[in-house]
Every structure is written in structure tokens, then in C-alpha cells.
Structure 1
Amino acid sequence: MVYRVFLLLVFLAIAIGGGAASVWFALDNAPLTGRFTSGPWQAFPLLGTPQADPYSRARYARSGGLPLGPSEGIVLTAREDSNGDPLRRTCTYVISGQLPPARLWTLHLTDADGGFLPDHGRKRAALHSWMVVYGEGNSLTVHVSRQPQPGNWLPSEGNGRMQVVLTLFDTSVAVTSDQFSDLRLPTITRADCHA
């Protein structure tokens, strides 16, 4: 009797543990679907809609993300510069160009896993549309560097890879595969590297 109970417990542990491990593996390794790219920027606009695939929704929910619906806005992420090289916190970059029309936008830096970068004293690695200085024709230039820069500056503290995250709120940008490839987004150019 004890032997059968023991076998049942072993069987249940293998079944439940194996099932949980396979779900964890699938969520970590299944590719996200519905990705649109434009230069170094990529977006997953279907995440906040019923058309999102269940693995993408589960992965996003597990990470604590709250996807924006199509009428709320869109999140654009860049992990590489405009030349295709990975973004590193030890390098200096210039983000320049026009932004699509939006009621409000935010621009911030994260580490490779999406965690916020440490503050530089009282300066955070984040900007929004009401706190930047615009150039001619409403163009934008933002310097990403460890050292303070004139104009718009985002500090990139620490070492390792990073991401630039641009969120457009209440924008008229309708994201389809045709329109997203034609969308004009800022370029990310590496100025120099100290590593």
C-alpha cells in the first residue's frame, strides 16, 4: 500500500513538474508573433488585442507588462543602432529625427531584460514630450551617454547591453505591416564607444 502511494506521488510530481517546466520553456523560447520593424525599431501592436497569440500574451503577462490597445498607443523598442550593432551602455549614441504625431510620448532606457537603468544622481534615464528641446521643424535630437551632454540627454549608467523604448500615446499611427515599414522614426547613430 505504501509502495503504491509512493509511486502515485512520484508520478504526480513528474507530471506536474514536467508540465510546468514545459510551459516555462515554451514561454521563454517561443517566438513572439506579430512583430513589425522599421529600421532599429520593433513593435508588437497585436499584444493588446484579442488577435494576440496565447503564448505572447502569457509571456507578456508573466513579465508584468500591460499592453496598450490600438486606440491607446504603441510601444517601440530598439535593441540595436541603425547600423545593426547592439546598443551598449558604454557607448554614446545620438537619437535624431522626427517622431510620429502623438498626444504624449516617452523615451527611456532599459537593460537587456527590460529593467530600468540606475539613475545618474537625480537624473533619470527617461524623457517625455513636454520636457525636451525641439529643433527646427519639430525635429528631435537626444544624446545617450554616460557623461552629461548639452541639449536632451539620457544617462546610460552601468555596463552591458541596453534597449531604447519609445512609447507613443494617443497616436493616429495605425500599425499594419504596410504602414509600419513606411513609418518615419528617429535614427540611432553611435557617436563613440569607451569600452
Structure 2
Amino acid sequence: MQLLIGLLLAFAVAASVGLGTTWYALQGGTPFGAFTVGAWSAWPRTGTPAIDPYARALVARSGELPMGAGDGIAFVATKDDDGAVLDGRCDVTVSGVTPQARFWTLTLYDPEGQLVGNSLKRHGFTSHEVIRSSEGKIDISVAPRARAGNWLPTGGIDRYKLVLRFYDSPIGVASRTGRETQLPSVKVSSCP
């Protein structure tokens, strides 16, 4: 009888630890194999056959179609360079030089991965429409109130994430140069 109780207890502990860590990995959105450049994180194996089981579960749950390794790479920022969470009530600046790519996009999403609604219907910028300085740098304001130049309206939501996708770029997974690449900085400039 004690052996049966011991086995049931061990099974219960193992099941709760296994299910708990799986739930944590899926809720946290932290698949393995990520690399970080400043505020930006990328999971280069997500669009390949070498995807880990947790990332596969996240993709299945979200319904998103990950970028294939030959197509490009996507970087996600949920915090600024100093670790402050991106808050839609604050003014955030994305600035710097973008790495070489045939095409890139910067898109604003809510934490669930949906586009942030706004009256302008502006959800992001592409490399073809963003205004650059004479040195080739971008300066994008992500803020609840209108700004001159490149402005992404947040609608004042509590939290959001920025996704920077590079298509046909040497910083893709195949070349593995992403770790040395400098990406635009993300800074909270003012917050009420």
C-alpha cells in the first residue's frame, strides 16, 4: 500500500512540475534558442525544422506563420534598451541605422499579437515609406499623441510589442551574423 501511495505521489509531483513548466514557457512566450541585440530578441530556429517543442506549441497556439530561415528574420521588442516595459501611454523613440536588407517592416502589436487599433489605420512602417535623415538613420516616434515625422500611434494601450522584420538580409539565420549586427535603439523618452 505504501508503495502505491509513493508511486501516486511521485506521479503527481512529476505531472505538476512538468505541466507547470510547460505552462510557464507557453505563457511567457520564451522559446529556447533566442538571441538578443539591445532591446530586440529573435528566435532564428522558429521557421526551421529544428524548432523546439515549446516554440512549436507557441506557434500553434498563436496561429502565426513564422518566417522561414531563407526568407528573413523577425526581432521583437517588449522593453526598451534599459529594460523599461513598452507602455502605450509613454513616448518611445526607435532610432538608428537599420542593417542591410532588401525590405524591412516595423509593426506595432498588442501583447496578444493583434494590430493596435487607431483612427489613422497606421500600424507600422516599411523601409520604402519611412523618412530617413541625411545619414540614413531612422527616427520613429511610438506615442499616444501625434508627433512630426515618423509616428506610430499607440492608442494609449497599457502594453505593446514592436516587431522588426528583415527580408532577404545577410543578418538572416543562415549567415548567423545577427549577433554582431547593430539594430536601432529603443528608448522611452517620456512617461506620464
TM above 0.5: yes
Name the CA shift for 1:27/1:184 in 2 (closer, same or farther; >3 Å): closer
Paired residue secondary structure (2:102): strand
- Amino acid in structure 2 at the alignment position of 1:86: V
Q: Distance in 2 between matches of 1:83 and 1:66?
A: 30
Q: 1:6 maps to which residue?
A: none
Alignment of 1:147-186 (within 5 A): 147-175=145-173, 179-186=177-184
CA pair 79-176 structure 1, distance change in 2 beyond 3 A: farther
Report the alpha carbon displacement of residue 58 of structure 1 after superposing the two structures with TM.
2.4
- The normalised TM-score by structure 2 is 0.82
* Percentage of pairs with the same residue: 35
Which letter maps to 1:171?
Answer: S
The Cα RMSD (Å) is: 2.3
Displacement after TM superposition at 1:190 (Å): 1.2
Cα shift at 1:111: 1.4
Structure 2 CA distance, aligned partners of 1:111 and 1:40?
17
Structure 1: runs of 5 or more not aligned: 1-17
- Report whether the alignment pairs 1:51 with 2:46: no
One-letter amino acid of the structure 2 residue matched with residue 155 of structure 1: P
2:140 maps to what in 1? 142
Instruction: Report what 1:89 is aligned to.
Output: 88
* SS of 2:45 mapped into structure 1: helix
Report the Cα offset of residue 55 of structure 1.
2.6
Alignment correspondent of 1:13: none
Secondary structure, in 3 states, of the residue corresponding to 1:85? coil
Farther-moved stretch of structure 1 (149-158 vs 167-176): 167-176
Matched-pair contact (CA < 8 Å) for 2:170–2:177: no
CA distance in 1, matches of 2:46, 2:183: 21
* CA–CA distance in structure 2, aligned partners of residues 98 and 54 of structure 1: 35
Gaps of 5+ in 2: 1-14
Tell me the residue number matched to 2:97.
Answer: 98
Q: Which has the larger radius of gyration?
A: 1
Give 3-state SS (helix, strand or coil) of 1:181's partner. helix
